[in-house]
A = this chain, B = another copy of it.
Amino acid sequence: MKVACVLANGFEDSEFRQPYDALQDAGHDVTIVGLQAGQELKGDKGRETATVERSFADAQPNEFDALLIPGGFSPDRLRAHQQAVDFVKAFFAANKPIMAICHGPQIFIPAGTYGGHRMTAWKTIQSDLRLLGANVVDEEVVVDRNLVTSRQPQDIPAFIREGLKLLERTPAAAR
């Protein structure tokens, strides 16, 4: 499947690297979509770098089958831009698989897509989402139909396991 990974500076290093590698290793094609094509991004811990391959201005959600949203400060940087928010909204509207970890679900707030699924997130974002009336739980991984969410780096193995299962069971019709 073609997976868009939305990323900006200050992403949580392992929350990008490990799911990215696991999806590629499983035969999926992951494209890094960001604010400016060619931009070099650094992880918050300085361990990982990544290059934006496509910008929101030229990447269309309908070119992709699934979405990956790593955490860190990246989701808050992305959600300052309406194009990034609209990009994420489109995957919800099309019921395409979405994997979001840690601060990832922060983008769901301006997108208005936090109300339809049971989910988890980083503890501070859990608190924001709960106050907004979302159905939030504190578990290492939550799967609700097309959405897989996790809380933090320690949850990455469960996040990858459930994410890969979700991509496998997504009907070919949606691809």
Using a CB–CB distance below 8 Å, which chain A residues touch chain B?
10, 44, 73, 76, 79-80, 103, 109-110, 122-124, 127-128, 131-132
How many subunits of this chain does the assembly comprise? 2
User: Is A80 a contact of B110 with CB atoms below 8 Å?
Assistant: no
- Which chain B residues lie closer than 8 Å to A128 at the CB level? 109, 128
Q: Is the CB of A73 within 8 A of B10?
A: yes
Chain B residues whose CB sits within 8 angstroms of the CB of A10 once the complex forms: 10, 44, 73
Asked whether B127 lies within 8 Å of A110 as measured between CB atoms, the reply is yes
Nearest 6 pairs between A and B by C-beta?
A: A73-B73, A110-B127, A80-B124, A79-B124, A76-B124, A80-B123
Among A73, A76, A123, A124: residue with most chain B CB under 10 A: A124
Per the bound structure, the CA–CA distance linking A145 and B44 in Å amounts to: 37
Interchain CA distance A73-B43 in the complex, whole Å: 13
Q: Do A109 and B80 have beta carbons less than 8 Å apart?
A: no
Identify which of B73, B122, B123, B131 contacts A109 (C-beta below 8 A). B131
CA distance A105 to B171 in the complex (A): 43
In the complex, what's the smallest C-beta–C-beta distance from A136 to chain B, in angstroms? 13
| Cα(A80)–Cα(B76), bound, Å | 16
User: Nearest CB to that of A9 among chain B residues?
Assistant: B44
A142 to B73, CA, bound (A): 26
